[in-house]
Every structure is written in C-alpha cells, then in structure tokens.
Structure 1
Amino acid sequence: MEKIKDERLKLKNLENIRIAFIIQTFGIVAILVFDFVSKGMEEMTGNPLWIVFLITMVAFSYLSMNISIEYEKPRKSPKKSLGIWLSVLVFLSILIGFLSTIGEQYTAATGVMVGGIIFICGLIPALYIYYLRKKNREE
C-alpha cells in the first residue's frame, strides 16, 4: 500500500475520519442514554462504553487545546494566565469541597477529598496549557 502524497486526499481522509468519529460518539452516547433511562445511573457508569467515552473525550480535549493555543494571539504572559487560572481553581475547589460536606452522610474528609480531586483535575490541564503557551511564545 502506497502512502498518500496528495494534500487534497489527505484532507478528504481526515474529513472521513472526523465523520466516523462523530457517528461513533453519537452511537456511544445513544447506548449510554438508553442504559441511563432503562437501568439508571449506576448501570450506565458501570458500562465499559462509559470508560471509552470518558477517555475519548479527555484525549480529544487535550488535542484540541494544542490546536487552540497555536491560533491564540499571545497577548498575556503565560505566567499571569496560570496565576489567574490557579486562583480560580483554588476558589472553586474550596467552594465545591465545602458544598459537598452539606448533608448528614458527608464529613469534612469527604469535602477535602472532593476538593482535592477537583483541584488535581483542574491543575493538569492548566499546567498543560501553560506549557503550550510558553512553548508557543518561545517560537
């Protein structure tokens, strides 16, 4: 099999892959919605398609970040943007951690754990965007 050298064919191939990805994602979402409606949230999140869907969306989000940073105008300092992002992230983590302790069955340990998970889940993309902006600015 020969490698494709024509740019138009490469673009058409990428468009076909994108369409297949969209159809596949809609199919996964439809199956998950059906599981949610018929069996409930527990069964939906227990379905292996749920994990495939989450991994696919996380990978797609990280790949999209790389493209969006390429076309971003370098107006702000990457350090300033990271500082603002971290400030908002700390505030939201504390707020969500505090709100998750409301209720009889939840304790302060639950709030700390939920807040910590929110912080870590927000810190990873923030550091990745900082790295991309810093690399883009150096080029």
Structure 2
Amino acid sequence: MYKRLDHFIIYDVITLGFTEATKSPLWILFIITVAVFNFMNIGVSIDIYDDTKKPKKPFPYYQTVIIIAFIGIIAIGLIQLFYSGKLSDAIIVGSVIFICFLVPFTYAYYLRKKRSEQLDKC
C-alpha cells in the first residue's frame, strides 16, 4: 500500500519523538522538497501579482539588503538581550536569519526585474 512521505515523518515523531525524527534522511528530503516548492510558488505568485495590477518598477536592490541587514541586527540584539549568551552565538543566529531572508528576496527581485524588462521590450 502506498503511503505519503509526511505519514512516515508523523509516525516517527509520534513513536520516536521530534528529535529522533529530525535525524532521519526523510526529514532532510522533506525540508528540501518544501524549500523547492516554496521557491516555485514565489515565481507563480509574482506572475499572478504582476498580471492583476499595473507592474511597478522594482525598487533598488540595496534597499532590500539594508532592510534585511536591519532585521538581522535586531535579531542579534534581541538574542543578546534576552538570552545573554555569547556574542558569537548571537552573530551566528543573526547571520543565518540574514541569509534566510536574503535568498528568497533576491530571487523575487530577480524575477520582478526580469518580468519588468520583458514588459519594457514589448
């Protein structure tokens, strides 16, 4: 009988616990699948959004990077304030947050810019 991937993961979480379930290769496959699905969904969302409204010129990329860096710095400050751990731990977490925000926003910016250039040619 065919079972879905998430059923195996749910079974592992219930029987072995969440910590043991995350050590499974199925967990890694599930996370990668969700990440790829979300990046594909970004492209669809941008295409639908651009078709429903008059397309705007994308704002400068450096503004996106500054906003994301600000979010990372706020995360570093909050971690240092509330968890009073080492500064290096807070910087690592802030850097990960920065990268996790930067990658999808960069991809969305690229898609919007490409779409804008295609509409300008027509």
Can you list the C-alpha shifts for 1:61-87, whole angstroms capped at 9, x where unaligned? 11111222222225432125872x445
- 1:59 is displaced (CA, Å) by 0.8
Give, in whole Å, the separation in 2 of the partners of 1:110 and 1:56: 29
Show the counterpart of 1:103. 83
Show the counterpart of 2:101. 122
More displaced 10-residue stretch of structure 1: 108-117 or 32-41: 32-41
Q: TM-score, normalised by structure 2?
A: 0.75
Q: 1:92 to 1:138 in 2, by over 3 A?
A: same
Unaligned regions of 5+ residues in structure 2, if any? none
Number of equivalenced pairs: 113
Show the counterpart of 2:70. 91
Q: 1:100 to 1:44 in 2, by over 3 A?
A: farther
Percent of paired sites with the same residue: 31
Show the counterpart of 1:20. none
Unaligned regions of 5+ residues in structure 1, if any? 1-22
Show the counterpart of 1:8. none
The one-letter amino acid paired with 1:41 is F
Q: 1:124 to 1:35 in 2, by over 3 A?
A: same
RCO comparison, higher one (Cα < 8 Å, 6+): 2
Q: 1:100 to 1:78 in 2, by over 3 A?
A: same
Show the counterpart of 1:3. none
The question of whether the paired residues in 2 share the 8 Å contact of 1:82 and 1:127 is answered with no
> Following superposition, which runs of at least 4 residues in structure 1 exceed 6 angstroms of deviation?
none
Q: 1:120 to 1:67 in 2, by over 3 A?
A: same
Report the secondary structure of 1:100's partner residue: helix
Please state if 1:43 is matched with 2:20.
yes
Q: TM-score, normalised by structure 1?
A: 0.67
The question of whether the paired residues in 2 share the 8 Å contact of 1:82 and 1:126 is answered with no
Please state if 1:60 is matched with 2:34.
no
